[in-house]
């Protein structure tokens, strides 16, 4: 990705995602292997809000798994918030993930039979934050997503939009370097999806969060600062939205 594709004013910010030549192959039994990512260069600076679009099967979730340290590339280098991922042993990957990445999924992925409050506290428990501190922060985050009144409810008692707001609060738990959202509005109606998207804009604008949004919705993608288009495992487009700072 070239510098001219960066958001104006963001050039001075450090790179949060710095990927070069990322290749991902899946071995499905010799002699077959599938090359799903075919040499991806991707740079995202702190505080950017970018989207990744592309046809189903183009490799978006595969790329997200690598960005989010859920998987490793077959080839190429990835530096996440200054940490060369090649140097991180497997047993430390989950720690890196827990403190640097906040995930938001289409299917919410909340822990069942567990209150919204406990769901948001969980990543902080894994990060060894003391109980009082993590409860206070979870309450603050649930307030931010306007879910205070429902914090004692379990996922089965919440609507899709409410579940996604809890999931976004959980994603913010350890103040991650990046929020990675894979089709976060995919299971929601248009109006509810709008509220979730507005929340991402708020986190970006008011908290300076770096957000990577994977979406099939071109209108939502067009609201972000850069739209990165994948096709058959390659970046085929990187459009900057000039008017972004004029306000969404």
Ligand X SMILES: Nc1ncnc2c1ncn2[C@@H]1O[C@H](COP(=O)(O)OP(=O)(O)OP(=O)(O)O)[C@@H](O)[C@H]1O
User: Which of 41, 43, 48, 51 has the alpha carbon at shortest distance from 8?
Assistant: 48
Shortest separation between residue 212's beta carbon and Mg ion, angstroms:
13
Shortest separation between residue 213's beta carbon and Mg ion, angstroms:
12
| Site membership for ligand X, residue 236 (CB under 6 A) | no
* CB 200, CB 144: distance < 8 Å: no
Nearer to Mg ion among residue 5 and residue 71 (C-beta): 71
Rg (alpha carbons) of the chain, rounded to whole number: 18
Nearer to Mg ion among residue 60 and residue 226 (C-beta): 60
Binding test (CB under 6 A) with ligand X, winner from 62, 185, 224, 229: 62
Q: Print the binding letters for residues 32-61 with Mg ion: x by CB under 5 A, - otherwise.
A: ----------------------------xx
Residue 79: Cβ-neighbour burial (10 angstroms; 0-12, 13-18, 19+) = middle
How many CB atoms lie under 10 A from the CB of residue 235? 21
| Site membership for ligand X, residue 54 (CB under 6 A) | yes
Q: Print the binding letters for residues 58-77 with Mg ion: x by CB under 5 A, - otherwise.
A: --xx----------------
| Site membership for ligand X, residue 218 (CB under 6 A) | no
Considering only residues 188-227, where is the footprint of Mg ion by CB under 5 A? none
CA distances to 66, 68, 102 from 128, rounded to whole Å, are 25, 21, 17
167 DSSP 8-state letter = H
| Contacts with ligand X, residue ranges (CB under 6 A) | 26, 28, 34, 36, 54, 56-62
């Amino acid at each position: 990705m070239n510098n001219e594709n960066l958001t104006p004013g963001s050039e001075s910010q450090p790179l949060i995602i710095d990927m070069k030549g990322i290749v991902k192959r899946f071995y499905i039994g010799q002699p077959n292997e599938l090359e799903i990512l075919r040499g991806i260069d991707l740079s995202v600076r702190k505080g950017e809000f970018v989207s990744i679009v592309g046809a189903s099967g183009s490799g978006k979730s595969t790329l997200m798994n690598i960005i989010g340290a859920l998987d490793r590339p077959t080839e190429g280098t990835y530096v996440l918030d200054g940490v060369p991922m090649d140097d991180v042993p497997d047993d430390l990957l989950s720690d890196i993930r827990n403190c640097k990445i906040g995930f938001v999924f289409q299917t919410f992925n909340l822990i069942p039979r567990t209150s919204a409050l406990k769901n948001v506290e969980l990543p902080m428990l894994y990060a060894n934050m003391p109980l009082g501190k993590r409860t206070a922060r979870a309450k603050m985050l649930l307030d931010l997503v306007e879910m205070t009144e429902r914090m004692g409810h379990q996922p089965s008692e919440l609507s899709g939009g409410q579940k996604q707001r809890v999931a976004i609060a959980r994603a913010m738990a350890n103040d991650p370097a990046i929020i990675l959202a894979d089709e976060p509005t995919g299971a929601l109606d248009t109006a509810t999806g709008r509220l979730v998207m507005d929340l991402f804009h708020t986190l970006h604008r008011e908290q300076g969060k770096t957000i990577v949004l994977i979406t099939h919705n071109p209108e939502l993608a067009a609201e972000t600062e850069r739209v990165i288009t994948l096709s058959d495992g390659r970046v085929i487009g990187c459009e900057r939205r000039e008017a972004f700072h004029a306000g969404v």
